Amino acid sequence: MQVEGLAIEALAQQVPTPFYCYSSKAIASNYQRYSDAFAGLDSLICYAVKANSNQAILATLARLGAGADTVSEGEIRRALAAGISADKIVFAGVGKSVAEIRYALAQDILQFNVESEPELMRISEQAHSMGKRARVSIRVNPDVEAKTHAKITTGMAENKFGIAIDLAPALYKRAANLPGIEVSGVDVHIGSQLTELTPFDQAFSKVADLVTSLQHHGIDIQVIDIGGGLGINYGEQSQEPDITTYASFAKAHLGHLGCKIIVEPGRSILGNAGVLVSRVEYVKTGQQRHFLILDAAMNDLIRPSMYDAYHHIVTVTEQTQKVTYDIVGPVCETGDTFAKGRTIGQCQSGDLVAIMGAGAYGAVMASHYNSRLNAPEVLVKDDQYSIIRERIDYDTLIAMDSLPSWL
């Protein structure tokens, strides 16, 4: 198995497993698919930093021209540090603190995606006190069923995100008269890992109606941020959701409104550009099943434990003999399971496996649970590689804590 010009087997002789490995070429080509699909619209691709916020990844995307969708001061700082200019940074999130708002205002970011009325008031007060005007888009919740996992659905009435689309006109009217506020657009994001495209169609149609009505009432809407959420094929479907169809919905509903379109993809840029490489520690034959016990665990990649997410898992060297295993990690939780009853090539202790589709929401969601060291991250370009995040050592791990004076 190769990542660009490098054999994983050879890489694993240099970098101890488990480690994340990303392909620069795959990231660039996924980004290019967005540029191509949205060509013809005045658009900006603001990569969702939360999917993978490594500086090297952000710098790769910055050089391709990407902006950034952020949800915290930390993400804004990461984006700026990687060379994404403030005028390409949007800031969403339901709990923006005063300090975060002031930081974003001081940097003069492109816009705030506002998620509630109290947040709008807070931004107004802070901007006014700093002698600034905050550009805002209100994130509307269109109440459409995203048909994805309940934990990553964001655009239904019961979800904490955005404000009900029916209440938006009144809030826009209010926003237009607030000090320190410049209404710039409308924002929508209905969820993540959407593999059916009709929910986007429905949401964009509702947003188009809203924008038309706001413009009719004299509110100057210049930007429509359509969020992210396009799903990827983790290996259990026959095909990937079609990005051209997705973009065609945006064009059909929103193209004639004279607005700049912002799109915030995360997973669909990074997801299939990365794998988690792991070594088999033990093959254990239990009473009822065979277990493949890896050196990677839920603390490295939590998606299977958290969402019962499917990730394709393959042996790095092709094996003709197939065996059905429960593929698990060493953490002391039954939920530390990557796959149950999965048939893959026969393995022995020391063999390498690759957990596919791990480039997004992998390393960023990792923890040190069970006092495990982090899986390092490696970026490949052609036949070169670079360790873009090191594995810390045990002394550093322990030194993160400090003792109170009374001990």
Binding-site positions read 229, 264-267, 303, 307, 333, 361
Pick from 70, 75, 39, 47: nearest CA to 268 = 47
Residue in the structure block whose two tokens are 């689309």: 165
Per-residue contact string for residues 132-171; x = within reach of ligand LYS by CB under 6 A = --------------------x-------------------
- Cα separation of 307 and 18, whole Å? 21
- Minimum Å gap between C-beta 47 and ligand LYS is 13
Secondary structure of residue 33 in the 3-state scheme: helix
Q: Does position 68 bind ligand PLP by CB under 6 A?
A: no
- Tell me, yes or no, if 332 is annotated catalytic: yes
Per-residue contact string for residues 335-364; x = within reach of ligand LYS by CB under 6 A = --------------------------x---
Binder of ligand PLP out of 142, 180, 185, 265 (CB under 6 A): 265
- Minimum Å gap between C-beta 266 and ligand LYS is 7
- Minimum Å gap between C-beta 16 and ligand PLP is 29
Q: For strand 2-3 and strand 6-7, is the pairing parallel, antiparallel, or unpaired?
A: antiparallel
Secondary structure of residue 347 in the 3-state scheme: coil
Instruction: Locate the DSSP E strands across 147-294.
Output: 163-164, 181-187, 223-225, 260-263, 274-285, 290-294
Q: What residue 180 binds from ligand LYS, ligand PLP, none (CB within 5 to 8 A, per partner kind)?
A: none
DSSP H/E element including 383: none
Secondary structure of residue 371 in the 3-state scheme: helix
- Minimum Å gap between C-beta 193 and ligand LYS is 5
Q: Does position 70 bind ligand LYS by CB under 6 A?
A: no
- Cα separation of 353 and 344, whole Å? 10
Pick from 41, 44, 49, 45: nearest CA to 77 = 49
Binder of ligand LYS out of 78, 303, 372, 389 (CB under 6 A): 303
Of residues 207-236, which lie at the interface with ligand PLP (CB under 6 A)? Answer: 227-230
- Cα separation of 71 and 227, whole Å? 13
Given the rule CB under 6 A, which residues bind ligand LYS?
50, 152, 192-193, 303, 361
Residue ranges binding ligand PLP (CB under 6 A): 48, 51, 69, 92, 189, 192-193, 227-230, 264-268
Q: What residues are labeled active site?
A: 332
